[in-house]
Structure 1
Amino acid sequence: MPDPTAPLIPLSLTHLPTVGGLAVPWITPRAGDGRYLFGAIDAGRKDQALVGLLCGVCGRHLDERLVLLMRLSDLPRQCTAEPALHPSCLAYTACACPMIQGNLDHYRTVPHKLDPTMIPAADEAARCGAPAEPWFAVWLDGYTVITDHGTRAASYAGSRPRRIRPLIWGPLFSG
């Protein structure tokens, strides 16, 4: 049954599957038993999105304006393994994702049970049970695909972002 408190799904995302009234991001992997693994990333789709300039939420081609969702620890490195988003997909994600909203004060303590064809995030062990970080929206005209910690990532090093805007800092950071 859909959650009555879930944000409305924009028309641009109605092609995506839903769980509990939420649109499932295009890069979210699906386990062999049918479960969507929210908070995990399908490595193949992530790379396809980064290289093909596809939105990580809707899976459609990005326009001239795009946004990277970045944790505080990503900002000094100016790169993230997460694909860019359309501004409208960012708006939905900021309302729908409990981590981005700041409703979770720690990362999950138990890793996802991945199928043999899936790989964990490069920093999964470091995040397991760790305090959540604040998130930022980095608005860009484009990015460069690099290799960071053995995986493809979007980098804006060497270019100037249009703006960097903090999103809700979450319970630990609200004062």
Structure 2
Amino acid sequence: MANAAIPIQLIHAPQHNGMVIPYIALRHADSTPEFGRVEPARVTECILERRCQLCAQELADAAVLMARPQDYADGYVPEPAEHPWCAAYSIRACPMLSGRLPRHRDRTRPTRRHCTLPEACWCGSNEPPSVDAIVRSGRAATPWYSVRFPMSEYEVVESARKGPRGISLRALAHPKVRLVARGHPEPHDLVRLVLWDLPWPAAGDEGGH
């Protein structure tokens, strides 16, 4: 599939293989991005400073969160929001958000395929994968929703010891919620769709984004 067209607002953003590199993307020691993995310090920075996770610029009047059914159960999204135009690009460019990946990638082993400096990089370490990586690795792709809201309703959910957990979903009064990728929901996600009244195609409608 050809790379998604880059909007004019992102034309000067750093790119790799024709794709915009998200500001929060984890990078190898040689600066090669590891798409699909994030740098925790940059995630925290964007959440607290109200910046876009893709371009790192300040969010203005409205923002968009990318949420899973699990995030609705938790009450917050653990990653930063985006400008509406950045979110539209992410939905087209990201294999998971666009529905092109049926399963989560295996994140239980360090990735070395792009890195030319593994001896100086996180990918050359023997650190165990995170609990989230273990839980999600190889699982069926979850449904994804775009959640647009006014910045006047932006609220950070804090934890007692580890800084911000994410951006609150429960603080949003009238969000515009749209299904962007159906995924292959497991039973517990189907229950969450009902509990939180999330949009879902009618029987026989195969549209997913």
In structure 2, the CA distance between the partners of 1:85 and 1:120, relative to structure 1 (3 Å rule), is: farther
Task: Please give the alpha-carbon distance, in whole angstroms, between the structure 2 residues aligned to 1:151 and 1:120.
Answer: 21
User: Which amino acid is 2:9 matched to?
Assistant: S
2:16 corresponds to which of 3, 13, 19: 19
1:163 equivalent to 2:191? Answer: no
Task: Please give the alpha-carbon distance, in whole angstroms, between the structure 2 residues aligned to 1:108 and 1:96.
Answer: 16
1:143 equivalent to 2:154? Answer: yes
Aligned to 1:131: 140
Percent identity over paired residues? 29
In structure 2, the CA distance between the partners of 1:140 and 1:158, relative to structure 1 (3 Å rule), is: same
State the TM-score, normalizing by the size of structure 1: 0.85
Worse-matched range after superposition: 5-14 or 51-60 = 5-14
**Matched positions, count:** 170
Q: Is the 8 A contact 1:41 1:121 kept in 2?
A: no
Worse-matched range after superposition: 74-83 or 38-47 = 74-83
Please report how far the alpha carbon of residue 81 of structure 1 lies from its aligned counterpart in structure 2 after TM superposition. 1.1
Please report how far the alpha carbon of residue 15 of structure 1 lies from its aligned counterpart in structure 2 after TM superposition. 2.5
User: Which amino acid is 2:58 matched to?
Assistant: H
Please report how far the alpha carbon of residue 34 of structure 1 lies from its aligned counterpart in structure 2 after TM superposition. 2.8
Query: What is the CA deviation profile of residues 47-84 of structure 1, one whole-angstrom value per residue up to 9, with x for unaligned ones?
Result: 11000000001110001211110112112222111100
State the TM-score, normalizing by the size of structure 2: 0.72
Task: Please give the alpha-carbon distance, in whole angstroms, between the structure 1 residues aligned to 2:53 and 2:144.
Answer: 16
Q: Which has the larger radius of gyration?
A: 2
1:33 equivalent to 2:33? Answer: no
What SS does structure 2 have at the residue aligned with 1:62? coil
Worse-matched range after superposition: 39-48 or 15-24 = 15-24
Question: Tell me, which stretches of 5 or more residues in structure 2 are unaligned?
Answer: 112-120, 186-205
User: Which amino acid is 1:140 matched to?
Assistant: F
Q: Is the 8 A contact 2:147 2:177 kept in 1?
A: yes
User: Which amino acid is 2:97 matched to?
Assistant: I
1:54 equivalent to 2:67? Answer: no
Q: RMSD of the alignment, in Å?
A: 2.5
Query: What is the CA deviation profile of residues 90-113 of structure 1, one whole-angstrom value per residue up to 9, with x for unaligned ones?
Result: 110011000000110111124344
Please report how far the alpha carbon of residue 162 of structure 1 lies from its aligned counterpart in structure 2 after TM superposition. 2.2
In structure 2, the CA distance between the partners of 1:6 and 1:56, relative to structure 1 (3 Å rule), is: same
In structure 2, the CA distance between the partners of 1:119 and 1:88, relative to structure 1 (3 Å rule), is: farther
In structure 2, the CA distance between the partners of 1:122 and 1:89, relative to structure 1 (3 Å rule), is: farther
User: Which amino acid is 2:156 matched to?
Assistant: V
Aligned to 1:104: 101
Query: What is the CA deviation profile of residues 2-22 of structure 1, one whole-angstrom value per residue up to 9, with x for unaligned ones?
Result: x7x111111211232212211
Structure 2 counterparts to residues 81-92 of structure 1, below 5 A: 81-92=78-89
User: Which amino acid is 1:143 matched to?
Assistant: Y
